[in-house]
Amino acid sequence: MDEIRRARRHTWVALVSVIAVMWVCISLVSAIELGEGRLQWWRFVPALIAAAGFTWLCTRLINAMLDRRYPTRQVVVAAALAVVTAGMGGAEPFGWGWALIAWLSIATLWISRRRVMVLAFGTFAAGMALGALSLATGAGIVTIDLGVTEALFSYALFYGLMCAVAPPSNRMLVWILTLAVQAHEGREAHTRLAVAEERLRLARDLHDLVGHQLSAIAVKTELAVRLSDVDQGAAKAEMTEINTLTRKALRELREAVRGYRDLDLAAELNSVKGVLEAAGVRCEVHLPYRDLPDGVAPVFAYAVREAVTNVLKHSTATFCDITLRFTDQEAELRVRNDGVARRQAADLGSGLAGMGERMAAVGGELAAHPTDDGEFLLTAVVSLPLRG
């Protein structure tokens, strides 16, 4: 979930940057007016207060929008503050008028395209009307170098361009964040589904293995009880058969449990490769041309499973590289991916911590940490021959 929080924070910063641009424009225009002695304080102070209130309200609006809520009342109040800011400040689109563009970029999130077009046209009309009013009253700085016609044309060009570009740009940012959240939720759902399927498979296998024997034992036990008072020889024969069935069921149950505990490395590699590629992670597997020494494959199978589980749950990887090699002295497994989970090596989580204990039990070592090139590397090394 850390990646989703990071994506949300980046999206929040991108949306707030429109407000930051507004303040940069306001500062530049105010500095020019102040330097030329044209700053009218009766306009400047109310515009500044309105801009401050607009900024505070817009930050709340952005948080609500990222939570997929559309507070209509606050949007309307923000629109009024934006109009006051632009009107009192002079309504230059590259100055106080930028408040209108900032409002439009936020107000057009989570609404239909038709409403986006209506708000964009309304913002353009408000900007042009306020700009014409400021030109008529001699406010603003455009009239210093441009005539009224040229100023209105520049207003129309700038307001038209920004009203056309700002809404789709911010809507795309929020859309990308939504896709990231959905992908993360889909990955978690896939993991839960895999766990549920594994539990169902275990239940089916146990039922198929011992269900018949247990049913037979129950029937024969009841029969032996009935025969105990009538034919002790037949009852004894039934009890002997019950003992045989019990031992057989116990043996098959132990074999089943051993099969689940001792994973098959080849099957595990094929399974994790399929799961990773289904999740959109390119997976490459590099195996030695010789069979691994006895006992190494099950240990590495567990390590592969845990490493890939972390790739799916705790990172945003696009590729995963799995490499196995061994010499006469040691065998090594390396799992590398580009979706770094920003954790210290000492904080491996319960899964990797348990894997480290399993490796230590056979005289091996486990290390998992981010690398200098922005990747995450898990290394499992065991000395040969295995201990225990």
Query: Based on C-alpha coordinates, what's the Rg of the chain?
Result: 35
Taking the C-alpha atoms of residue 30 and residue 35, their distance in angstroms, rounded to an integer, is 8
| DSSP structural state of residue 386 | P
| SS3 assignment, position 49 | helix
Q: In whole numbers, what is the pLDDT of the chain averaged over residues?
A: 81
pLDDT on residue 24: 92
| Angular region, 280: left φ>0, alpha ψ -120 to 50, beta rest | left
pLDDT on residue 50: 93
Taking the C-alpha atoms of residue 3 and residue 177, their distance in angstroms, rounded to an integer, is 11
Give the least confident one: 130-144, 236-250, 283-297: 130-144
Band the pLDDT of 107: cuts 50, 70, 90.
very high
Give the least confident one: 2-16, 171-185, 200-214: 200-214
Domains of the chain in sequence order? 2-185 (no CATH), 188-261 (1.20.5), 265-383 (3.30.565.10)
The whole-angstrom distance between residue 321's C-alpha and the CA centroid of its chain comes to 21
Residue type, 243: N
> Smallest Cα–Cα separation from 294: which of 342, 331, 253, 239?
331
Band the pLDDT of 164: cuts 50, 70, 90.
very high
Return the percent helix, strand and coil in the chain, to nearest 5.
70, 10, 20
pLDDT digits (tens, 9 = 90+) for 9-65: 888 998 999 999 999 989 988 888 888 777 888 888 999 999 999 999 999 999 998
Q: Which residues of 103-131 are buried (b: 16+ CB within 10 A; e: fewer)?
A: bbbbbbbebeeeebeebbeebbebbbebb
| SS3 assignment, position 314 | helix
Q: Are strands 376-383 and 282-286 parallel, antiparallel or unpaired?
A: unpaired
The pLDDT of residue 242 is above 60: yes
Burial, 143: exposed, middle or buried (Cβ in 10 Å; 0-12, 13-18, 19+)? middle
Largest CA distance in the chain: 122
